[in-house]
Amino acid sequence: MNHMAGSLEQYNTVVWHWPIAVYLFLAGLSAGAIISAIIIKWMKGNDVSPWDGIIKAGAILAPITIGAGLFLLIFDLTRPLHFWKLLIHYNFGSVMTLGVLALFAYFPVVILFFLGVFKKELIENGPFKFLAPFADMALTYAKAIESVTLILAVGVGAYTGFLLSAMNSYPLLNTPILPALFLASGVSAGISANLVVGLLFFKNSTGESNVSYMHGLDVKVIFAELFFLFILFVGMMYQGGSSAHVASAALSSGGLSTLLWVGVIGLGLMLPIGLNFALPHGVKHSHGFVIFNALIVLIGVLALRYYILYAGQTFVG
Amino acid sequence: MQKQYRLLYDENLCIGCQACSIACRVENSVPDEVYRVQVHMQTMGIFPNLGMHYERLSCVMCENPPCVSVCPTNASFQSKDGLVHIDEKSCISCKYCILACPYHARFINPLKNVVEKCTFCYETRVSKELSPACVSICPTDALTFGDMRQSNSLVYQKSHKEVLLFPKAHLGTKPKVAFIPNRKGAKS
Ligand code: SF4
Ligand code: SF4
Ligand code: SF4
Which CATH number belongs to the domain containing residue A90 in this structure?
1.20.1630.10
Residue-level pLDDT at B46: 85
Residue-level pLDDT at A283: 87
- What is the span of the domain harbouring residue A189? 3-314
Residue-level pLDDT at A2: 41
In angstroms, the separation between the Cα of residue A236 and the nearest Cα of chain B is: 17
Residue in A closest to B16 by C-alpha: A5
**Yes or no, beta carbons of B40 and A97 under 8 Å apart:** no
Residues of B in contact with A83 (CB under 8 A): 92
Residue in A closest to B38 by C-alpha: A5
In angstroms, the separation between the Cα of residue A152 and the nearest Cα of chain B is: 20
> Would you say domain B5-180 falls under CATH 2.60.120.560?
no
Non-local (6+) Cβ contacts of A137 within 8 A are A112, A145
Residue-level pLDDT at A5: 61
Residue nearest to atom 5 of ligand 3 (CA): B71
**Yes or no, beta carbons of B72 and A97 under 8 Å apart:** yes
Task: Give pLDDT < 70 ranges for chain A.
Answer: 1-5
Q: What is the B76 CA–ligand 3 centroid distance (Å)?
A: 6
The answer to whether A298 and A189 have CB atoms below 8 angstroms apart is yes
Residue-level pLDDT at A34: 98
Residues of A in contact with B66 (CB under 8 A): 167-169
B45 lines ligand 1 (CB under 6 A): no
Residue-level pLDDT at A44: 84
Say what the ipTM of the complex is: 0.90
B132: phi then psi, degrees, rounded to nearest 5: -55, 155
Ligand whose nearest atom lies closest to the CA of B103: 2
Residue-level pLDDT at B187: 58
Ligand whose nearest atom lies closest to the CA of B89: 3
Question: Mean pLDDT of successive 10-residue segments in chain B (188 residues)?
Answer: 91 94 96 93 85 92 97 96 95 95 94 94 95 97 96 95 94 96 72
Ligand 1 pocket: which of B27, B140, B180 to mutate (most atoms <8 Å of CB)?
Answer: B140
Q: Looking at the 3D structure of chain A, how many domains does it have? A: 1
Ligand whose nearest atom lies closest to the CA of A82: 3
Nearest atom within ligand 2 for CA of residue B68: 8
Q: What are the sequence ranges of the domains in chain B?
A: 5-180
Residue-level pLDDT at B120: 97
Ligand 3 pocket: which of B78, B93, B99 to mutate (most atoms <8 Å of CB)?
Answer: B93
Residue-level pLDDT at A163: 97
DSSP letters for A201-260: H-GGG--HHHHHHHHHHHHHHHHHHHHHHHHHHHHHHHH-HHHHHHHHHHHHSHHHHHII
Residue-level pLDDT at B188: 56
Whole-structure pTM value: 0.93
Buried-exposed string A128-156: b where 16+ CB fall within 10 A, e elsewhere: eeebeebbeebeeebeebbeebbebbbbb
Q: Count of CB atoms within 10 A of residue B155's CB?
A: 22
DSSP letters for A169-210: T-TTTS-TTHHHHHHHHHHHHHHHHHHHHHHHH-GGG--HHH
Residues of B in contact with A10 (CB under 8 A): 34-35, 104, 107
| H-assigned helices in chain A | 18-41, 53-76, 95-117, 132-140, 142-165, 178-201, 208-239, 241-252, 254-258, 271-278, 281-284, 287-314
Residue-level pLDDT at A4: 58
**Yes or no, beta carbons of A79 and B113 under 8 Å apart:** yes
